[in-house]
Amino acid sequence: MKSIATEVDDSSARMRQAAEAQLQRPGFAMAPYFYRSHVTYQRELQGILYRSWLYAGHVSQLGETGDFLVYELGEDSVIVARSAAGDTGLHAYTNICRHRGARVCEASSGQRKTFVCPYHGWVYNLDGSLRAAREMDQLPDFSPADHGLRKLRLEVIEGLVFINFDPDAAALTAAMAPVARPLGAYQLTDARVAHQHTYRIDANWKLCLENYLECYHCATSHRHYARSHSLKAVPEEVAALNAEMRARADSVTGVAGITDEYRALYSEAQGFGACVSHWRYALYEGYLTGSQDGTPVAPLMGSMQGYDGGAGDFQFGPLSFMLAYPDHCVLYRFTPRTLTATDLEVVWLVNGSAVEGRDYDRDALTWLWHQTTLEDEHIILRNSAGVNSHFFEPGPYHPQFEALCAQFVSWYLKTLLDAPT
């Protein structure tokens, strides 16, 4: 099923009117306008996403000099490349030639010594600086130093590479400090990507994100997930289960602070688009990890020494999330591509010393979250079809299960109104 956005009365004034009206209905799902408006979509890119910290990749994908990957957001493309060893050897820059605007790299990843524009042959170094511009020395005031690829902010935190288009964005490193103990337990710097897959979903990015932010649908839509993860239940029902897990977590995992909780999301974040959170919840009895039957699927991560029957839940920025089990981590990234298309990328991380076929089976490792994501795609597409109906009337969010949706929507609407143009 492919959902096509219907036409709406669209203008900046209409967007402002719709946002102000929606703010008068706190705790309610958003009106169809916000999923169908091209004006709003451009405002989201400029006022929200280009100012936020975005997960771009993992250091294991950029291990050698010349390694690169390409991240695409909307109509924009970014190259992340390694020019030298260490975090300072990583660079992010726009994939746009400074001459006439052609993309200098069409591959999604690989290894290069330079990037050469296929149009007029301008050559760029791995750090984005201009190496050569054919015959441009005929211009008396032409300086290669003034024509490098446009640089983006880049920070590496525990092996995770984040970028930001905003040169004045608050540092993500400082915002992440409160989750250092639980995040550090997995030693992601030494981990590696075992598998990644991009699911193209023909729906507005906010529908995809809102679906992830709530587990009200988990019991009805994710039979396998709901069998093992207690997040499907209201907190009161699993309070004892969570208390038991927290009581044993430090000693069983060998990690002091593995259950540290912290939430600074959206309007409460330390800097714009620097959302950070962590909390740990229990798996049901008999399940040790996020797999089809709950049995381990890979060697223990980092400094983890055992299975406490819990799962860590992280958020990094507004679009990236990570489920952390003792033996593997699953990272989710939502990327808007058009008004009605979203790339949902899932990345499975394992201990860096693990060898496929010896230490883990890829199908067993990926089964649960591949299955869950296919189920999400199914329900998101049907959600999108309904939201695009002329007769959809938004209802109230559940006060517990959908509280994060309400928090996101409030921040989103206020940002639409207040963000610089």
| pLDDT tens per residue, range 267-303 | 999 999 999 999 999 999 999 999 999 999 999 999 9
Residue 180 and residue 114 share a domain: no
Tell me how far CA of residue 238 lies from CA of 31, 216, 220, 243, 283, in angstroms.
Answer: 33, 15, 18, 9, 10
**Is 123 a domain residue?**
yes
Strand, helix or coil at 17? helix
Q: Can you give the pLDDT at residue 4?
A: 58
Residue 380 has pLDDT above 80, yes or no: yes
Residue 8 has pLDDT above 80, yes or no: no
Q: Can you give the pLDDT at residue 5?
A: 55
Tell me how far CA of residue 305 lies from CA of 55, 129, 283, 325, in angstroms.
Answer: 28, 45, 18, 12
Q: What is the CATH number of the domain that holds 75?
A: 2.102.10.10
Domain stop point among 126, 155, 184: 155
Q: Can you give the pLDDT at residue 92?
A: 98
Residue 213 and residue 136 share a domain: no
Alpha-carbon gap, residue 160 to 165, rounded angstroms? 17
Residue 224 and residue 191 share a domain: yes
Q: Output the average pLDDT for the chain.
A: 95
**Would you give the end-to-end CA distance of the chain in angstroms?**
35
Domain stop point among 155, 190, 216: 155
Q: What is the CATH number of the domain that holds 375?
A: 3.90.380.10
Residue 180 and residue 119 share a domain: no
**Is 34 a domain residue?**
no
Residue 331 and residue 238 share a domain: yes
**Higher-scoring residue by pLDDT: 34, 6:** 34
Domain stop point among 128, 155, 182: 155
For the chain, how many structural domains are there in total?
2
| pLDDT tens per residue, range 158-207 | 999 999 999 999 999 999 999 999 999 999 999 999 999 999 999 999 99
Residues of the domain holding 134 = 58-155
Per-residue tokens: 37: 């408006």
| pLDDT tens per residue, range 126-156 | 999 999 999 999 999 999 999 999 999 999 9
Contacts of 308 (CB under 8 A, 6+ apart): 245, 248, 249, 252, 253, 258, 326
Alpha-carbon gap, residue 307 to 18, rounded angstroms? 48
Alpha-carbon gap, residue 208 to 343, rounded angstroms? 9
